[in-house]
Structures are given as C-alpha cells and as structure tokens.
C-alpha cells in the first residue's frame, strides 16, 4: 500500500512539474511573440498575462490588449483568451470579448458580439490546418453605418500546402444603411494563396490570393436571391482576371425597394428597369437575370458594356 501511495505521489509531482514547465514555456513563447511584433515596428501592449488550468489545461488570458501596426491600424480588446489542453498542443480555442474595437486609416469599427469563439488547429511548424469561428450575434458599427449578423459560421480548411477551402454562413443580416434585412447568406470557395497561413502571419507579410474558385455565393433579401459563381486568377499586383456570373432571381423586388426607399430616383429606376427587362426578356426569364462579369487587364465589363476599373484583390 505504501508503495502505491509513493507511486501516486511521484506521478502527481511529475505531472505538476510537467504542467509548470508547459505553462512557463507558453508564457515565454507569448512574450517572445510580442517582442517580435515590437521589433517589426508594432506597438503591442497588455496589462496582464496569466496561465491557468492545472492539471489538464493550459488557459492563457491577456488583459487590456492593444495591437497597433506600422500603418497605424489598431485592435483593442479588454481581454483575450487562448484555451488549450496539455495533451493537444496544436489545438486551441480563442475567446473574444463582447466588445472590441478595430481602427483603420478610414474608420473606427466597434465590434459587439455574443458568443464569439474560434478554434485553431496547426501543425508543429505553425502552419494553420483548419479554423472555425462562430457567433450567435455579431454587430459591426462605425460612423454612419452598422451591420448586424446572427448565426455566423466561418470555416477554413487546408486541402494542400497553400490551398484553403473557405465557407461562410450567416442566418440573418441587417444594415442601418439599407432597407430590410438579409434572410441569409452562404459563401463557398477555394482559394490558392502564394504561401500557407501560419501563426506568425500577423507580423509577417500576409499570404496573398492567386486563384479564387468561387463555387457559390448566395444572398437572400426581401424575396430577392443573388447567386454568384466563377473563377479568378489574381496577379502579384492584385489584379483579377476571369469571369464571375451573377444570377438575380426576382430582381424587380430589389429595384422597387431601392425606388421606394429613395436610394435611386424614379427616372433612374425606370431606366434600369427598362434595360434589365430587355436583357431578361432576351434570356427568356423575365424575373431572372444571368449576368456574366468579365475581368480582363484590370478592367470589368458586362458583356460588351464597360463597367470601369476592377478592384484590386489584396489582403492588407
């Protein structure tokens, strides 16, 4: 009996020493990560760092966290948690506060959420293998505009070295700058980047998309359904080349809503309706439009109609 007690005590002491070692390693790795940020021109500050969870967890909490990049953009959170298990070092749960603030050169965005959580799985080299984010509600507001989402689900999974399958779903969405609300949105796409995403991506050059295979993007609002699908090649300068097909079902409802809300004048609405009615009539579907949008040499066009310069597709 004494021998068994001695074995149990030895195991407990050994596990306690192992947990203390892992907790210290996590703290040092986090402090080193912040030092790397500062060495690359970032302002990275927090008022407290705690690691808890003995005996089976390694839960880290940062309080009063502020990250300010060399370009002046910043991100402030009253706290941020990284939760994990000692026997699953490559799997983490990220817990965000109910309110956080992101500032860019053009706007200050307040993010208010309920149940905002994310999971992150990476390999021993720090390459992101898969990630999921979810929130019961997610409200984004800045001066003069706001967007509210419910039932948000975002997923990313690496299928090859730098190829990721991405999916986004929101059960409902509403905006203060638009009339009505979206009944839901779904996006499914596969993106090939010029490099894999890693744990050091934040303070290193971000991987940039080189090919986008948009399997489906669906938006439903006030009886209108918009679907998009197609593929784009992206140059090193962010210039897209390819074609995206837009299908609008019950497009007249959206036009009527825009007219009634005053977003477009009656004369403009009449002109748009006449043109789209002709186009949909030629296609044999008066309530449905199939519109190919072509991206070529930095320009966009709808059929033979020029639409102007194509936007650059780059991750800042």
* Adjacent-strand bridge partners of 117: 95, 134
pLDDT recorded at residue 178: 46
Q: How many domains, in total, are found in the chain?
A: 1
- Phi/psi for 254 (5° steps) reads -65, -40
Inside any domain, residue 68: yes
In a domain, 139, yes or no: no
CA distance 34 to 29: 9
pLDDT digits (tens, 9 = 90+) for 179-206: 445 567 899 999 999 999 998 887 788 9
Confidence band of 58 (pLDDT split at 50, 70, 90): very high
Q: What is the mean pLDDT of residues 206-227?
A: 87
Mean pLDDT score across all residues of the chain: 85
Mean pLDDT of 69-92: 92
Are 146 and 176 in contact by the 8 Å Cβ rule? The answer is yes
DSSP 1: -
Q: Is residue 80 part of a domain?
A: yes
Is 134 within a domain? Answer: no
Give the model's pLDDT for residue 285.
64
Share of the chain above pLDDT 90, in %: 50
Residue 295 pLDDT more than 60? yes
Please write the tens of the pLDDT for every residue from 110-143. 999 999 999 999 998 999 999 999 999 999 998 8
Q: Is residue 72 included in any domain, yes or no? A: yes
Residue 1 lies in a domain: yes
Task: Quick: pLDDT tens for 24-47.
Answer: 999 999 999 999 999 989 999 999
Domain span at residue 43 reads: 1-95
Helix (H) or strand (E) holding 193, with range, is: strand 181-193
Q: What is the per-residue pLDDT for 301?
A: 87
pLDDT of amino acid 78: 97
Residue 42 domain-assigned? Answer: yes
Rounded distance, CA 272 to CA 275, Å?
Answer: 5
Query: pLDDT exceeding 70 applies to what percent of the chain?
Result: 82
227 alpha carbon, distance to own chain's centre = 20
Q: Is residue 89 included in any domain, yes or no?
A: yes
pTM of the complete model: 0.82
In sequence order, the β-bridge partners of residue 128 are: 122
pLDDT value at residue 246? 84
**pLDDT value at 90 more than 50:** yes
């Amino acid at each position: 009996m004494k021998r068994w007690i001695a074995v149990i005590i030895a195991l407990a002491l050994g596990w306690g020493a192992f947990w203390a070692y892992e907790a210290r390693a996590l703290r040092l790795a986090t402090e080193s990560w912040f030092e790397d940020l500062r060495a690359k021109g970032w302002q990275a500050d927090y008022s407290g760092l705690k690691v808890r969870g003995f005996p089976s967890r390694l839960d880290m909490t940062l309080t009063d966290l502020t990250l300010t990049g060399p370009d002046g953009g910043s991100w402030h959170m009253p706290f941020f948690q990284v939760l994990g298990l000692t026997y699953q070092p490559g799997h983490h749960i990220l817990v965000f506060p109910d309110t956080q603030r992101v500032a860019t050169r053009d706007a200050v965005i307040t993010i208010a959420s309920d149940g905002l959580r994310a999971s992150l799985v990476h390999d021993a080299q720090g390459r992101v293998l898969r990630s999921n984010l979810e929130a019961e509600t997610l409200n984004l507001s800045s001066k003069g505009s706001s967007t509210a989402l419910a039932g948000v689900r975002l997923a990313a999974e690496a299928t090859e070295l730098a190829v990721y399958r991405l999916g986004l779903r929101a059960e409902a969405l509403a905006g203060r700058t638009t009339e009505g609300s979206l009944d839901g949105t779904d996006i499914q796409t596969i993106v090939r980047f010029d490099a894999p995403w890693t744990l050091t991506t934040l303070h290193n050059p971000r991987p940039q998309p080189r090919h986008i295979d948009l399997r489906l993007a669906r938006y439903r609002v006030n009886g209108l359904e918009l679907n998009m699908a197609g593929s784009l090649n992206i140059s090193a300068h962010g210039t897209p080349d390819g074609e995206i097909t837009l299908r609008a079902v019950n497009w007249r409802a959206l036009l009527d809503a825009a007219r009634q809300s005053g977003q477009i004048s009656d004369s403009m609405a009449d002109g748009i309706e006449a043109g789209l009615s002709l186009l949909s009539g030629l296609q044999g579907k008066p309530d449905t439009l199939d519109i190919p949008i072509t991206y070529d040499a930095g320009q966009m066009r709808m059929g033979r109609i020029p639409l102007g310069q194509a936007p650059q597709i780059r991750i800042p």
